[in-house]
Amino acid sequence: MEHTWRWFGDRDPITLAQVRQTGATGVVTALHDIPNGEVWPVEAIRARQAQVAAAGLVWSVVESVPVHEDVKRGGPLRDRAVAAYQQTLRNLGACGIDVVCYNFMPVLDWSRTDLAYPLEDGTWALRFDADQLAAFDLFLLRRPGAAAEYGPEQTARARAVLDALDDAGRARLVDTILLGLPGSEERYSLGEFRAALATYAEVDADALRANLASFLRDVVPVAQEAGVRMAIHPDDPPRPLFGLPRVVSTAQDAQHLLDAAPSPANGLTLCVGSYGSRPDNDVVALTRRFAEQIFFVHLRSVRLQDGGRSFYEAPHIAGDADMVAVIGALVAEERRRERDGGPRIPMRPDHGQRMLDDQFRETYPGYSLIGRLKGLAELRGVEQAVRRLLPVG
């Protein structure tokens, strides 16, 4: 597999020179300064390519070209935003960039409640705690209708969480959820977040799924013509949040979106940790089932807690997912593609722990240098072992 590294541009505390030393050959990045719904100009794309190439690397995958909220909710700017997305795909294809990772999560991108959850070995991990999220939703956000969505037991647990937090802890929880995590384009105050949620009041799962299908029917043919493969990222976490539907959470969801616009340009980002955050998802079976449609891979793993309601980011090969079996399925698919002339499979480590010197330097949450370096080394070792042991043919 092609080994890549997520880089957030010039504001990333980790430099391209450091990325080069990790063993990665490809960079996964985006033009984060361009507003959602606007066209990425060819000149800006080529400038970023040249910047990456000057460091001895290649811009391998776009992550992400964000989908405008009016596309997701069917708002008045929907057609304009889709047209801009189509032109961006044409421009990326003209520059030779052939994989675009994106998501279709309403309002918020990926969500966590703790950015420095201490593990037994002294490292810090990202964590999603269902009771902390409920405490925020019920008592800090005070979302209309929220009380009806939580049972008495979870409400009591949420109240206990809130009561245990001082003012600084409550502010930290609000900031963690609303200020956006790396890759997110959204930043909200409590009032802005309530207003954004209200715009989805009439959008249920069926409507969101229909809007995704409509988007795919519009952009996938353009992507195919431009030589670009669309790789949708699953919901993270893969469940409804704040009354918002989510429709890329299960194997059934993945099949639905692939069927909505059948094309060699319509495929998946296999995020092992996202799919693995639901106990009812068999990530190994999902990898084997959709192997031909997997265009990009996030090799990260989680440990489920509280009966699967909560989770934390585990070391890359020490989570609940059978990472050896996942990589084995990907290597088997890559060999098939090598034989039949199919495209490469870029992969990257994701959400490494903060450890050693990373605990004393500024890094984006989940995107530490040493934690991801350790993860990439482990994953490359698994891949090499699988390649030697997996029968050819």
Q: Which residues are catalytic, by number?
A: 233, 271, 298, 350-351, 367
**Rounded Cα gap, residues 379 and 150, in angstroms:** 39
Tokens of 313: 């980011």
Indicate if the alpha-carbon torsion angle 5, 295, 266, 210 is positive or negative: negative
**Rounded Cα gap, residues 125 and 115, in angstroms:** 7
- The Cα angle at residue 358 between residues 355 and 361, in degrees rounded to 5: 155
**Rounded Cα gap, residues 118 and 111, in angstroms:** 18
Q: Are 232 and 296 in contact (CB under 8 A)?
A: no
**Rounded Cα gap, residues 50 and 6, in angstroms:** 17
**Rounded Cα gap, residues 304 and 314, in angstroms:** 9
**Rounded Cα gap, residues 316 and 296, in angstroms:** 17
> Can you say how many angstroms the Cα of residue 318 is from the centroid of all Cα atoms in its chain?
20
* Closest CA relative to residue 44, chosen from 26, 65, 67: 65
DSSP conformational letter for 269: E
Indicate if the alpha-carbon torsion angle 155, 161, 167, 172 is positive or negative: negative
**Rounded Cα gap, residues 317 and 324, in angstroms:** 8
Residue appearing with tokens 């995107």:
367
